[in-house]
Structure 1
Amino acid sequence: MTQPIRWGILGAAKFAREHMGPAIHAANGAELAALATSSADKAALFQSFAPGIAVHESYEALLADPLIDAVYIPLPNHLHVEWALKAMQAGKHVLVEKPATLREEEFDQLIAARDAAGVLAAEAYMIVHHPQWQRARELVHTGALGQVKHVSGKFSFDNRSDVDNIRNRPETGGGALRDIGVYVLGSARFVTGEEPQDISAQIEWENGVDVLSNVQARFPSFLYTAYVSTRLQPFQEMLFHGDKGVLRLTAPFNPRVFGEARLELHQASHAAGSGRVIEERFPIADHYKLQVEAFGKSVRDGAPYACPLEFSRGTQRALDQIFATATTL
């Protein structure tokens, strides 16, 4: 019997406690084996669903643990590169939260360290492992929409009252684009296989972080428009519009929290003025668990991974261009 991949988590982040920790614990072929935190109270919250988890009082101690195969890093954004490099140098496979870096050129360090250590390292871009996104990509590439001419995306929530949240602090790499803009932009790249050109944007800033952005871009074969915000009523949607159909994703980024994952394929029929809507639902798929399982298959069997560092680098390149050229709202 194949031994499960033994995972450790650097830090007792709320997101790790509520989402990724339980996903690792539940995933086939994985074991949540260790946590690095100096807080007994925070450790107890993980032990409530993973009673056998070992607790290390420092990140260094966890990385030195010879029983740990892979490390999940949910630290604040500005610490991702530092600890991903240390984990790979310790011989661990690495899944680091998005954004993996704050600048495109930092991917050079991650890719070089990955190749030197012979490990799998990837950004925790979980949506590409969800069947709704794999199906969306299939529909676009098999011509169900005809020629896609426009892609639009929307993603928002309101965290203005949480002033100490790392997403509201510039020194920790906060802001809406890095937190949720990666989903809207990256998903357009994933589904179409194209890269953005001629990017422009308008950004509203608050205390040094972007809280609302409106982005426009030309891809080789379509136009792209999107907005993301951490100061608006929660909402999310992706729309792929072709000359023969429209594909709408109703809960594209955090299904089961925002709502049920559902694809709507709108196509014209032969009768003038009429059409049909084909709906596909994905009520139980857990993209966090699927991400862990896909990571494990890649580690064990060398299976292709849907989100290698090279893919994530493309999204960061676009974010860098947005920050460099955006005007202020």
Structure 2
Amino acid sequence: MTIQWGVLGASSFARDNMAPAIHAAKGANFAALATSSVEKAKGFQTYAPDIAVYTDYDAMLADPKIDAIYIPLPNHLHVPWTIKALEAGKHVLCEKPIALKESDFDDLIAARDKAGLIAAEAFMIPHHAQFGRARELVQSGAIGDLVHIDGTFSYNNAGDLDNIRHDPAKGGGALPDIGVYPIGAARLVSGQEPQSITLANLRYEHGVDVFAQVAADFESCSFSAVVSMRMMNYQQMTFHGTTGVLRLTCPFNANKADVAELILDRKDAPRHVERWPAENHYVRQVENFSAAAEGDAEYPVPLEWSRGTQQMLDMIYAAAK
């Protein structure tokens, strides 16, 4: 069976990344788009000319031919529309952050369990081989004992003040937008959870955080990260152990900003490099979700896991106050 997908909202990210991934994924078919502007549908129809186009979101949710919904709406709409889609009998993959506070997960998990369907945050990096390999190496002791994790993710949208990331009413800010990545990467690779926030240096403009410098203690290692909407595009993750250092290049926009590489340096050993020049984590995410919707596999990052990242974001905001 092929999962029939509907996209709820014609964002540029959906048009350029996730809808093409649904179109390309095995076991999935991009069948419908709901948008308030028929004009916006044209960008999707260049690669999926046969999609049904709805100008009413609820009408697409009522379509019995649609099995799963992908939601790329502004952050503050994620929880209500995820719940509405579940109540309409659809599996849901919703853009990150799926919620704006940790307590929102109570309603999301309850709606998922009542519906008996799959609902998950569209956090794509766990689906990339780069992260599976990093987790394997770190947790097997390839760098000795893990001592410190460091991450950076930045871009500069200072000249785009109409962007929803600058709107506090819509869940804007650097931490909700990109802070989830170094935090999620640290949790994913280490298998550990944050215990306390030791530094939360946030800088605000227009009511949203545009720069965040964060430090934390995990169970047996420390963590630091910088995320910003006011710095040149850059991304990296480093895992530093007692006998080695593992670095991930382009960990969050793999093969978009640069080639995804894993670089392992160990004492008295030659540098080890692995590369994934063709891996598409968006396609893998859709394939893994579709398999879970079919009942063929467990989804690797359920809501309970995503809740942990939001809990750390809440801890950072609380510490900054």
User: What's the TM-score bracket when you normalise by the shorter of the two chains?
Assistant: over 0.9
Unaligned runs of 5+ in 1: 270-274
Q: Give the distance between the partners of 2:238 and 2:222, measured in 1 at CA.
A: 12
2:277 equivalent to 1:283: yes
2:119 equivalent to 1:125: no
3-state SS of paired residue (2:133): helix
Cα deviation code 1:88-141 (max 9, x no counterpart): 000100000000000100000000000000000000000100000011001111
Where does residue 98 of structure 2 map in the other structure? Answer: 100
For residue 303 of structure 1, report the CA deviation from its aligned partner. 1.1
3-state SS of paired residue (1:164): coil
**AA paired with 2:23?**
H
Where does residue 226 of structure 1 map in the other structure? Answer: 225
Q: Give the distance between the partners of 1:170 and 1:111, measured in 2 at CA.
A: 25
Q: Give the distance between the partners of 1:258 and 1:293, measured in 2 at CA.
A: 23
Q: Give the distance between the partners of 1:38 and 1:295, measured in 2 at CA.
A: 26
**How many pairs align?**
320
Where does residue 112 of structure 2 map in the other structure? Answer: 114
3-state SS of paired residue (1:143): coil
Cα deviation code 1:170-203 (max 9, x no counterpart): 1110000000000000110011111101113110
User: Matches of residues 263-282 of structure 1 in structure 2 within 5 Å?
Assistant: 263-269=262-268, 275-282=269-276
2:180 equivalent to 1:182: yes
Where does residue 305 of structure 2 map in the other structure? Answer: 311
Unaligned runs of 5+ in 2: none
For residue 302 of structure 1, report the CA deviation from its aligned partner. 4.0
3-state SS of paired residue (2:278): coil
Q: Give the distance between the partners of 2:84 and 2:283, measured in 1 at CA.
A: 25
Asked if the contact 2:144/2:243 (under 8 Å) is kept, the reply is yes
2:21 equivalent to 1:23: yes
3-state SS of paired residue (1:301): coil
Cα deviation code 1:257-294 (max 9, x no counterpart): 2100000000111xxxxx42100000000000000001
User: Matches of residues 1-329 of structure 1 in structure 2 within 5 Å?
Assistant: 3-199=1-197, 200-269=199-268, 275-326=269-320
Q: Which moved more, 1:144-153 or 1:40-49?
A: 40-49
3-state SS of paired residue (2:304): helix
Q: Give the distance between the partners of 2:294 and 2:38, measured in 1 at CA.
A: 33
Q: Give the distance between the partners of 2:112 and 2:158, measured in 1 at CA.
A: 37
Q: Give the distance between the partners of 1:249 and 1:258, measured in 2 at CA.
A: 13
3-state SS of paired residue (1:137): helix
For residue 68 of structure 1, report the CA deviation from its aligned partner. 0.2
For residue 326 of structure 1, report the CA deviation from its aligned partner. 0.9
Q: Give the distance between the partners of 1:17 and 1:181, measured in 2 at CA.
A: 23
**AA paired with 1:266?**
D
Q: Which runs of 4+ in 1 moved over 2 A?
A: none
Q: Give the distance between the partners of 2:257 and 2:23, measured in 1 at CA.
A: 23
For residue 38 of structure 1, report the CA deviation from its aligned partner. 3.0
Identity of aligned residues (%): 56
Cα deviation code 1:148-174 (max 9, x no counterpart): 000000000001111111111111100
Asked if the contact 2:38/2:55 (under 8 Å) is kept, the reply is no
Q: Give the distance between the partners of 2:45 and 2:249, measured in 1 at CA.
A: 35
Asked if the contact 2:210/2:230 (under 8 Å) is kept, the reply is yes
Cα deviation code 1:203-240 (max 9, x no counterpart): 00001000000000001110001110000011100000
Cα deviation code 1:3-33 (max 9, x no counterpart): 2100001111000000000000000000000
3-state SS of paired residue (1:276): coil
For residue 45 of structure 1, report the CA deviation from its aligned partner. 1.1
**AA paired with 2:56?**
S
Q: Give the distance between the partners of 2:91 and 2:158, measured in 1 at CA.
A: 35
For residue 255 of structure 1, report the CA deviation from its aligned partner. 1.3
3-state SS of paired residue (1:253): coil
Q: Give the distance between the partners of 1:157 and 1:65, measured in 2 at CA.
A: 39
For residue 296 of structure 1, report the CA deviation from its aligned partner. 1.0
Q: Give the distance between the partners of 2:302 and 2:53, measured in 1 at CA.
A: 29
Q: Give the distance between the partners of 1:178 and 1:226, measured in 2 at CA.
A: 14
Q: Which moved more, 1:287-296 or 1:194-203?
A: 194-203
Please, what is the CA RMSD of the aligned residues? 0.8
For residue 40 of structure 1, report the CA deviation from its aligned partner. 1.9
